[in-house]
Amino acid sequence: MNLLIKSHYAGLLLVLPGIACAQPFPTKPIRIIVAYTPAGATDILARAVGQKMSEAFGQPVIVDNRPGANGNIGTDVAAKATPDGHTLLMVTAGTHGINPSLYRKLPWDAVKDFAPVSLTAMVPNIMVVNNSVPAKSVKEFIAHLKANPNKFN
């Protein structure tokens, strides 16, 4: 046999044991932690995604609502979960974008403790003001706030 064929066989022998040892996934129900209350946008989205995952994987998907502390309680539960791929966290801009800059010390790190899996939705934010506020745009609203510094907080 020439050297090229021998190297292919050697490579095949190295790969086969890894294939034989691979475990099926998932091996138990999948949990999606939602760090907010039931019936909110994050919860509804998690349930829709969970239903499709359950159909695809043939395993139950449980949505586990853990609200409180602006999403920090549920996020902490997810950060401390066994890292076996069976626990997911439905994050928002609040839990992973705002909270790390809002709170001095969090028991988890948004970058080091989590790995992104998929973007599931983009939700627009809308700013509204009371009809008594004479502003029809963000620029007008900022000008109104600056003109009345002690009137708003």
Asked whether residue 68 is assigned to any structural domain, the reply reads yes
Residue 51 lies in a domain: yes
> How far apart are the C-alpha atoms of 142 and 153, rounded to whole Å?
13
Amino acid occupying residue 137: S
> Is residue 48 assigned to a domain?
yes
The residues, ordered by sequence, that sit 6+ positions from 102 with a Cβ below 8 Å of its Cβ are 70
Q: Confirm if 32 and 63 have CB atoms less than 8 A apart.
A: yes
CB 76 within 8 A of CB 67: no
Question: Which pLDDT score is estimated for 15?
Answer: 54
> Mind listing the pLDDT tens digit for each residue in 24-47?
889 999 999 999 999 999 999 999
Assess if residue 146 is contained within a domain: no
Establish if 112 belongs to a structural domain: no
Structurally, the chain folds into a number of domains equal to: 1
What is the secondary structure of 26-65 as a DSSP string? -SS-EEEEESS-TTSHHHHHHHHHHHHHHHHHSS-EEEEE
pTM over 0.85: no
Residue 87 lies in a domain: yes
Give the CATH number for residue 58. Answer: 3.40.190.150
Asked whether the beta carbons of 36 and 67 are under 8 A apart, the reply is: yes
64-122 pLDDT, tens per residue?
999 999 999 999 999 999 999 999 999 999 999 999 999 999 999 999 999 999 999 98
Domain assignment present for residue 53? The answer is yes
For residue 79, tell me if it sits in a domain.
yes
In the chain, beta strands by DSSP E: 30-34, 61-65, 87-90
The 10 Å CB-count burial string (b at 16+, else e) for 25-55 is: ebeeebbbbbbbeeeeebbebbbebbeebee
Examine the pLDDT at 144 and tell me if it is beyond 80: yes
Q: Residue 79's domain spans which residues? A: 30-102
